[in-house]
Amino acid sequence: MDFQRDFLALGIYLLVLFVLLNRFKHKRFNLFLRWSGIFLLLYFLFLEIQRKTFFILIPVFFFLLFCYFYFKEKCRLRNGWLLNLFLISFMIYVGLISFTAQSIIGMGISAVLLILFLIAVAFGVYAAVIFLIGNSFIVLRRESRRLPNLLTLILGLAILALILLQTIGAKFLPSWSLVLLAIPTTIALYFFVVFWNFLSISVLYQFNQPKYEQDFIVVLGAGLINGETVTPLLAKRIDRALQFYHKQSAATLSPPRLVMSGGQGPDEKVPEAQAMREYALAQGIPEDEILMEAQSTNTLENMRFSKEVMEREKPSGYQAIFSSNNYHIFRAGMYAEEVGLNIDGIGAKTAKYYLPNAFLREFIAIALMHKKAHLIVCSLITIGYIALAAINYFFGG
């Protein structure tokens, strides 16, 4: 092992990190991530040049492929697959180069990743059940007992039931039928992988930092209290838009115009856009800087009708973003791309205890958008295992 090489590299990394964190105090986490990524790339590239190998080109290829598709269309589920493909290839690469080049830094990273992987395999399912059911009690204490607020409880109980089914079924079912127990497990594993890809790209999308050169901010509506007053959830969306509004105004002296988007539901006295407009006026926003789109009934229509408003106001072209809750902006971005609206989202913070439930709800909504594909996969899994069970029954002896 080349201790001198690795300790020198580690010293340079820590020194530069110390300087950056003290020089730029407002974006420390982003700086840490960026510098760590640059350092690891340069370090492993140095090892490759030293050994005259270029295995690093494999994860770099997947990273560039991810970047190409991500910056082309950010709100696509394929980006989650590409991101995780890059991460898996990079972890394999780190393990390979660490031992072939006898790298202390690489071995340390590999050891941490291996320990985390083993912990996840050994305790991940049980920890998930405890977390989901525990989280559901917190949600039920603070929120209403509606179905959308019961998702973590339902999922936790479903996983627990699956564990019991596997345990009890293995004891009492005939040997030829045991393969059928793999059907719900495999389907659950499939949806876990799909969910993980969704969660990966959805979390990455939270780091959007639009430039202060926007012409419009579309604020997506939500329900109203007593049919006429914005809810705390909707107020957060508006406040997030106003935060960006004031920052751009201070930076460029040219604030964006707000497009309040939301129609009138059957139980609402006024359109959501009107209630949102009144809220913004109460915050000191000039009346002529607020536009209303009061026809939409869902997020897809929010995007379609807001696009019409912005094109009417500025037919020569415009820059725009939209504001919603952080867990919702990825799916909202998918709808924006569907109607041909090139627009990124900024997310309002959500109470941490509610995030698991919220992301599950978003995942279900997105899964239903692709229900035919998921139904085909689940059908093939089921047919495959039934065929194996039949073969085992007739020819298994």
DSSP string, 148-209: GGSHHHHHHHHHHHHHHHHHHHHHHS-GGGGGGGHHHHHHHHHHHHHHHHHHHHHHHHTT--
- Read off the pTM: 0.87
Amino acid 104: pLDDT: 87
Examine the pLDDT at 349 and tell me if it is beyond 70: yes
Amino acid 102: pLDDT: 85
- The answer to whether the CB of 89 falls within 8 A of the CB of 58 is yes
Give the model confidence (pLDDT) of 204-225 as tens digits.
Answer: 999 888 999 999 999 999 888 8
Local structure of residue 74 (DSSP, 8 states): S
Of the pLDDT bands very low, low, confident and very high (cuts 50, 70, 90), residue 105 is confident
Examine the pLDDT at 321 and tell me if it is beyond 90: yes
Examine the pLDDT at 397 and tell me if it is beyond 60: no
Of the pLDDT bands very low, low, confident and very high (cuts 50, 70, 90), residue 1 is low
Of the pLDDT bands very low, low, confident and very high (cuts 50, 70, 90), residue 396 is low
Domain ranges of the chain: 3-117, 126-201+371-395, 216-350
Examine the pLDDT at 312 and tell me if it is beyond 60: yes
Of the pLDDT bands very low, low, confident and very high (cuts 50, 70, 90), residue 193 is very high
Q: Can you tell me whether residue 239 is helix, strand or coil?
A: helix
Query: Options 3.40.718.10, 3.90.330.10, 3.30.2350.10, 3.40.50.620; which CATH number does 216-350 get?
Result: 3.40.50.620
Amino acid 244: pLDDT: 95
